[in-house]
């Protein structure tokens, strides 16, 4: 049996069984967090520009954009997924170095709206999309992440799997949907090593590609069933020979969706341990930003490679600048959306502190990546004191999770400025009872 066929077997079996209560709850948490990322991204570029680019696919069709505008399913998936990945507040599956929500939930929602599915069917699609894609991402490992952006590549499988469940594909067609989408998987890290809008478009492309593959498979389009494990397949071409047996071993018994990271800061997740560590050490020392003479951050290598902007000039660059976000946290106390407004980007106190921050790879912490995301922070004060703090994980990681209340507060903080307080509260209430909804 080929790997995609094993995934298809799981998807078909899961569609016929009750959803475990814990899994259902965590799926709703994922959807709430997705909306928290979607809404602020929907009123910013590139989503606003994509609405112009795809105008012929709008104001018709069976799906909707974030604020209710009608769209064809593929265009809704593309724009909504791009929007959900724009503000860098979407979820993470740590072991796969991957943001599953943006592409997977966007595709699931478009498919569910187009086909008239209810809330439970939508959540089933989300769960299967998360379970299959996170396993593919974890199997592809750190070698894949050297050049590829996992949200674009691995996200294609999440989108195809979610849509395949919602469209009711049988096992054969489901396997072909995964086989077809494998050859669409794309997204280069170089695309966001300078200022650009490409990164959120990776999520958008993944969602659209997944929907396309599922729709094509529904009509009988076939793919190469050995595309993951074959000699010239996805695993060998884009990684170093994944262990596919391990990837499928716990399907249906261990649900990855219960171990998601929900972001507590509005920037690249590789910076979070450093932010959390710096804030904790600042609290312990009882110092203000002006009292700090030097900050040293040691962390894992990909954090410096991905979030290494020395002199960020735009919000996109600043979200991927370890020095900027640590300095902002120490100066202003948090790294939320306001941290990337023009006045904050030019803040003299933040810029001055950035010049006093040193970054380095910590070999011990690098060895634990991606399973652990840690940082070691040292602060020297102007009056000669020195403190050091090891931040072993990130606030929001599964071993230090956001509570349901904290997650809803994040949602309201991000959604209310776009929707208004009343509508945001109403949406949150609806999402918590989504499995009982007759329609999405």
Instruction: Give percent of the chain above pLDDT 90.
Output: 99
Which of these, 121, 231, 211, 237, lies nearest to 168 by C-alpha position?
Answer: 121
Question: Are the C-beta atoms of 72 and 57 separated by less than 8 Å?
Answer: yes
Question: Phi-psi region for residue 15, left (φ > 0), alpha (ψ -120 to 50) or beta?
Answer: alpha
Read off the DSSP letter of residue 131: H
370 upstream amide cis, omega within 30 of 0? yes
Token digits for 172?
């054969």
The pLDDT score that the predictor gives to residue 319 is: 96
Q: How far apart are CA 88 and CA 100, in angstroms?
A: 13
Contacts of 32 (CB under 8 A, 6+ apart): 407, 408, 411, 428, 431, 432
Element (H, E) at 6: helix 3-15
User: What value, to the nearest 5°, has the Cα angle with vertex 288 and ends 283 and 294?
Assistant: 95
Q: pLDDT band at residue 359, thresholds of 50, 70 and 90? A: very high
The pLDDT score that the predictor gives to residue 253 is: 96
Q: What mean pLDDT do residues 195-201 have? A: 96
Q: How far apart are CA 66 and CA 64, in angstroms?
A: 7
Question: Phi-psi region for residue 222, left (φ > 0), alpha (ψ -120 to 50) or beta?
Answer: beta
Query: Which fold would CATH assign to domain 269-391?
Result: 60s Ribosomal Protein L30; Chain: A; (3.30.1330)
Burial of 371 (0-12, 13-18, 19+ CB in 10 A): exposed
Token digits for 239?
């990684």
What separation in angstroms does the CA of 368 have from each of 276, 371, 373? Answer: 18, 6, 8
The pLDDT score that the predictor gives to residue 32 is: 98
Q: pLDDT tens digit string along 390-427?
A: 999 999 999 999 999 999 999 999 999 999 999 999 99
**φ, ψ dihedrals at 65, nearest 5°:** -80, 180
Q: Over the chain, what is the mean pLDDT?
A: 97
What separation in angstroms does the CA of 372 have from each of 97, 119, 247, 251? Answer: 11, 34, 19, 23
Q: pLDDT tens digit string along 106-122?
A: 999 999 999 999 999 99
Contacts of 173 (CB under 8 A, 6+ apart): 164, 217, 218, 220
The pLDDT score that the predictor gives to residue 125 is: 98
Half-sphere exposure of 40 (CA within 13 A, CB side): 21
Beta bridge partners of 148: 188
Q: What mean pLDDT do residues 176-182 have? A: 98
Burial of 191 (0-12, 13-18, 19+ CB in 10 A): middle
Q: pLDDT tens digit string along 124-159?
A: 999 999 999 999 999 999 999 999 999 999 999 999
Q: What mean pLDDT do residues 172-183 have? A: 98
Collapsing DSSP to helix, strand or coil, 361 comes out as strand
For the chain, how many residues are written? 440
Domain with CATH 1.10.4100.10 in the chain: 3-263+403-436
Domain with CATH 3.30.1330.120 in the chain: 269-391
The pLDDT score that the predictor gives to residue 173 is: 98
Question: Are the C-beta atoms of 109 and 80 separated by less than 8 Å?
Answer: yes
CATH superfamily of 3-263+403-436: 2-methylcitrate dehydratase PrpD (1.10.4100.10)
Q: pLDDT band at residue 248, thresholds of 50, 70 and 90? A: very high
Q: pLDDT band at residue 294, thresholds of 50, 70 and 90? A: very high
Question: Are the C-beta atoms of 320 and 302 separated by less than 8 Å?
Answer: no
Q: Which long-range contacts (CB under 8 A, 24 or more apart) does 65-71 make?
A: 66/38, 66/39, 66/41, 66/42, 67/39, 67/42, 67/43, 67/418, 67/419
The pLDDT score that the predictor gives to residue 67 is: 96
pTM: 0.95
């Amino acid at each position: 049996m080929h790997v995609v066929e094993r995934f298809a077997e799981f998807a078909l079996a899961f569609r016929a069984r009750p959803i475990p209560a814990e899994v259902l709850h965590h799926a709703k948490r994922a959807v709430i967090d997705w909306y928290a990322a979607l809404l602020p991204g929907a009123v910013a570029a590139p989503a606003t520009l994509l609405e112009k680019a795809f105008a012929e696919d709008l104001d018709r069709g069976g799906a909707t954009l974030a604020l209710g505008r009608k769209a064809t399913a593929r265009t809704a998936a593309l724009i909504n997924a791009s929007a959900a990945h724009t503000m860098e507040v979407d979820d993470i599956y740590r072991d796969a170095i991957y943001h599953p929500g943006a592409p997977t939930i966007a595709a699931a929602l478009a498919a569910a709206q187009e086909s008239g599915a209810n809330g439970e069917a939508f959540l089933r699609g989300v769960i299967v999309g998360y379970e299959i894609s996170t396993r593919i991402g974890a199997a592809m490992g750190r070698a894949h992440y050297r050049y590829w952006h996992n949200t674009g590549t691995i996200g294609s499988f999440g989108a195809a799997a979610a849509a395949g469940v919602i469209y009711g594909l049988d096992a054969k067609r489901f396997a072909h949907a995964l086989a077809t989408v494998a050859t669409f998987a794309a997204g280069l890290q170089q695309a966001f090593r300078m200022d650009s809008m490409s990164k959120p478009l990776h999520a958008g492309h993944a969602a659209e590609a997944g929907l396309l593959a599922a729709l094509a498979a529904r009509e009988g389009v076939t793919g190469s069933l050995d595309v993951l494990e074959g000699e010239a397949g996805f695993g060998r071409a884009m990684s170093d020979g994944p262990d596919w047996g391990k990837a499928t071993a716990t399907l249906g018994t261990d649900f990855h969706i219960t171990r998601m990271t929900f972001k507590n800061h509005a920037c690249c997740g590789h910076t979070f341990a450093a932010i959390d560590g710096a804030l904790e050490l600042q609290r312990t020392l009882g110092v203000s930003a002006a009292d700090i003479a030097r900050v040293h951050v040691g962390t894992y290598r990909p954090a410096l490679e991905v979030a290494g902007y020395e002199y960020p000039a735009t919000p996109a660059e600043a979200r991927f600048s370890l020095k900027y976000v640590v300095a902002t946290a120490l100066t202003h106390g948090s790294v939320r959306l306001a941290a990337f407004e023009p006045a904050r980007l030019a803040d003299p106190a933040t810029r001055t502190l950035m010049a006093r921050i040193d970054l380095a790879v910590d070999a011990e912490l690098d060895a634990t990546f991606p399973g652990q995301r840690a940082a070691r922070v040292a602060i020297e004060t102007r009056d000669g004191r020195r403190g050091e703090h090891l931040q072993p994980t990130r606030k929001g990681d599964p071993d230090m999770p956001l509570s349901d209340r904290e997650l809803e507060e994040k949602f309201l903080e991000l959604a209310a400025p776009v929707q208004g307080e009343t509508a945001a509260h109403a949406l949150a209430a609806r999402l918590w009872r989504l499995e009982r909804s007759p329609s999405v």
